[in-house]
């Protein structure tokens, strides 16, 4: 299943972001630490490189991600030019307090009352941009929810007399190149449910968990996953939890949603769906046309 999701308001959001990029000093790109590269919008990179703006990459939701994978991603990003990466939780005030200082280091020529440091928060939907904005300002100025694309317009606020923040809507890109990226983003709830089939996303997630985190599945659901594939896991969850349709058929959709919810909330454990090594394998895999 190839997933594409580009709501209408994102066209105008992209245009507005391009115009604002000219007037800012640092891009704060918020990423989901579990899927940082799958969720790194190439349009954001294109815009900031065109204007030669440095970038602070925040790997948010680090408390939900595999620590070993997060460590590898930090090394991956911190070797890139004009990029600083940090892993944190936007829900923790102590973590968020580091952000202005890190941005200031990326633009040392700014940050006075005469030349305020202008920072733009960017990222795909549902990665925690609004949570970060509210935490930095220490008041609720942006809507926060567990559904992608809540913020639909830019907002600008003064953090203090020498720093300004601009919050932007979650921005997807028109075509997701790798099908597995779309599935990882759907599993992580960065893509609206109207664009996906939950059961297919859950089967993809289950296959990935079987390959990398089988013990977490065993522990959470109480059955032996040896020899199973993703579809088997969904069916076993339905049986174990007693999810039934009329006629005693297993309710696979309900079981799929249960698995997705347990992953999204961290109930399954600390899980990352990609690493720099797995990313390299996806990029270097031969395409269907090359195989043919």
Q: State how beta strands 55-60 and 155-160 pair.
A: unpaired
**Domain final position from 167, 189, 205:** 167
The yes-or-no verdict on residue 152 having pLDDT over 70 is no
Range of the domain at 144: 10-167
Domain presence at residue 192: no
Alpha helical stretches, state H, 51-111: 67-78, 93-96, 99-106
Do 158 and 245 lie in a common domain?
no
Do 29 and 155 lie in a common domain?
yes
Number of domains composing the chain: 2
Domain presence at residue 185: no
pLDDT (average), residues 186-213: 91
Tell me: the pLDDT tens digits for 15-39?
A: 888 888 999 999 999 999 999 999 9
Identify the CATH number of the domain in which residue 262 sits.
Answer: 1.10.1580.10
**Domain final position from 167, 189, 213:** 167
Percentage of the chain modeled with pLDDT above 90? 70
Handedness of CA 239, 245, 247, 249 (dihedral sign): negative
Q: Any idea which of 121-135, 139-153, 226-240 has the lowest mean pLDDT?
A: 139-153
Tell me: the pLDDT tens digits for 88-144?
A: 999 999 999 999 999 999 999 999 999 999 999 999 988 998 889 889 998 887 655
9-21 and 42-50 helices, crossing angle to 10°: 30
The yes-or-no verdict on residue 84 having pLDDT over 60 is yes
Do 133 and 46 lie in a common domain?
yes
pLDDT (average), residues 35-58: 94
Contacts (Cβ under 8 Å, ≥6 apart) of 57: 29, 31, 36, 40, 77, 83, 84, 85, 86
Do 162 and 276 lie in a common domain?
no
Domain presence at residue 82: yes
Domain presence at residue 190: no
Backbone angles phi, psi at 55, to 5 degrees: -135, 130
Which letter does DSSP use for residue 279 in this model? H
Domain presence at residue 178: no
Do 146 and 229 lie in a common domain?
no
Identify the CATH number of the domain in which residue 118 sits.
Answer: 3.40.50.300
Do 201 and 65 lie in a common domain?
no
* pLDDT recorded at residue 49: 93
Do 204 and 98 lie in a common domain?
no
């Amino acid at each position: 299943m190839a997933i594409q999701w580009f709501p209408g308001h994102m066209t105008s959001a992209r245009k507005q972001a391009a115009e604002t990029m000219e007037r800012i000093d640092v891009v704060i790109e918020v990423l989901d630490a579990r899927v940082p590269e799958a969720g790194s919008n190439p349009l954001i990179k294109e815009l900031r490189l065109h204007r030669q703006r440095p970038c602070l990459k925040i790997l948010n939701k680090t408390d939900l991600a595999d620590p070993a994978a997060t460590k590898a991603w930090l090394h991956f990003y911190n070797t890139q030019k004009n990029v600083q990466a940090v892993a944190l939780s936007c829900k923790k005030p102590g973590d968020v307090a580091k952000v202005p200082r890190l941005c200031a280091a990326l633009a040392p020529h700014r940050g006075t009352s005469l030349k305020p440091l202008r920072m733009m928060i960017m990222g795909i939907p549902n990665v925690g941009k609004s949570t970060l904005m509210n935490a930095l300002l220490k008041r609720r100025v942006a809507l926060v929810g567990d559904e992608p694309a809540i913020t639909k317009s830019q907002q600008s606020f003064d953090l203090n007399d020498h720093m300004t923040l601009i919050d932007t809507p979650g921005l997807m890109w028109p075509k997701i190149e790798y099908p597995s990226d779309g599935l990882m983003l759907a599993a992580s709830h960065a893509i609206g449910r109207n664009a996906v089939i939950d059961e297919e996303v859950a089967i993809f997630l289950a296959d990935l968990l079987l390959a990398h985190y089988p013990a977490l599945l065993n522990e959470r659901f109480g059955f032996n996953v040896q020899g199973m594939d993703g579809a088997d896991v969904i069916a076993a969850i339905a049986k174990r939890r007693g999810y039934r349709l009329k006629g005693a058929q297993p309710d696979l959709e309900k079981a799929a949603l249960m698995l997705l919810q347990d992953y999204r909330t961290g109930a399954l454990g600390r899980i990352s769906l990609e690493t720099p090594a797995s990313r390299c394998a996806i990029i270097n895999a031969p395409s269907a046309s090359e195989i043919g």
